Structure 1
């Protein structure tokens, strides 16, 4: 017996449903995608980055959030949960719930085998539509490697790659920096 096609959700239907869920789900083009769990290494890298940025951003107009702050790419309609996201000055949210950020300046994704292709490709293509976004970092969890995409102008991004524990990543968007050794503290990575 053929199954009936599932009706596509509206963004408002998604938000209403998502706000009642215990687990997180991304949304694009009327479809919902469940978020999977993360490894120990993934969690440590995220916590290390968030802790470093949090302490650096105290007393500034910037805020940093770890994996539970939803981001909407208004231009494409995608709702997603970056591993780390930061916004500065006049933070804009979708509605009074203040749980869907519209103007991030920094997004960091920690790569896993299941997400790497998406984070590098389709997801970054969506993120590039955020005019506020200045820095996008892809952080490996099994090896010492951080890729930093820095916006040069509307359609041009400069890639810098960091592989040494002594490397320092300058994040102009939040007036901060990340020492690669701090990113990988307690994480068994290959040099």
Structure 2
């Protein structure tokens, strides 16, 4: 089904196979999430959303430029086998070589860090079902949920790779704070994430 999300009460749906979905994504300017046969149109982002995601990509890219970590923006999908789900993140980081989904060069299986910049239409999903799906990936161990309306970031980190039910939660709500990204062993000031963002 293809869902168009202009509002919760205005949903249009049709059925697509996984192959049809992938072919559509190669040529369609809009992005869609695949959820086990259902295809959901991803809503467009705001100027603040784009700027925050860019700030993170630029700053982390500089910090990690000589490391084995690789950063990817929203051009690539994360493939979540357990849920037959392909989705786009605002930013993801892979340790070493990306593990691709079979012969696909646009679907990654092994992110360690995922960042989502929250939007009104996707916030509940990013916090709930999407986070649950991400947690099924064995490589995934850190998650940032970044507000675009105020300096507020929620950080989840799993310190125990052998258990997926021990995620620690931390809130950052002061621009003077620095966030320690445990999975990358780097720090990023809140001021860099929110550089030139006016609240």
TM-score, reference length from structure 2: 0.87
**Structure 2 residue aligned with 1:57:** 64
Counting only pairs closer than 5 Å after superposition, residues 16-95 of structure 1 correspond to structure 2 as 16-95=23-102
| Structure 2 residue 147 is matched with structure 1 residue 140 | yes
| Deviation >3 Å, runs of 4+ | none
Shift of 1:42: 0.5
The CA deviation at 1:6 is 4.4
Q: 1:101 aligns with which of 105, 108, 116?
A: 108
Instruction: Provide the rounded CA distance (Å) in 2 between the counterparts of 1:62 and 1:99.
Output: 18
Residue 146 of structure 1 and its aligned partner are, at CA, apart by 0.5
* Cα distance in structure 2, aligned partners of 1:172 and 1:43: 24
Aligned to 1:160: 170
**Bigger RCO (CA 8 Å, 6+ sep):** 1
CA deviation map 1:12-34 (0-9, x unaligned): 33222222222211100201111
TM-superposed deviation, 1:94: 0.9
| Partner-residue secondary structure (3-state), 2:183 | helix
Aligned-pair Cα RMSD in Å: 1.5
Quote the Cα distance in structure 1 between the aligned partners of 2:144 and 2:87: 16
Mark the runs of 5 or more structure 2 residues left unpaired by the alignment: 1-12
Tell me, yes or no, if the aligned pair for 2:43 and 2:121 is still in contact at 8 Å: no
2:125 alignment counterpart: 118
Number of positions where the alignment pairs a residue of Structure 1 with one of Structure 2? 184
Deviation, structure 1 residue 50: 0.6
CA contact (8 A) 2:76 2:106 kept: yes
Q: Which residue of 2 aligns with 1:177?
A: 187
Check the 8 A contact 2:146/2:154 in 1, yes or no.
yes
Query: What is the deviation of 1:125?
Result: 1.1
Distance 1:11 1:86 in 2: 25
The corresponding residue for 2:6 is none
Residue ranges of structure 1 left out of the alignment (5+ in a row): none
User: 1:130 is matched with which residue?
Assistant: 137
What per-residue deviation string (whole Å, max 9, x for no partner) do you get for residues 123-172 of structure 1? 11111111101110000001110000001332210001001112111112
Whether the 8 Å CA contact 1:166–1:179 is kept in 2: the answer is yes
Residue from 186, 195, 198 that aligns with 1:188 = 198
Q: What CA distance in whole angstroms lies between the structure 1 residues aligned with 2:186 and 2:85?
A: 28
- What is the CA distance between 1:90 and its match in structure 2? 3.1
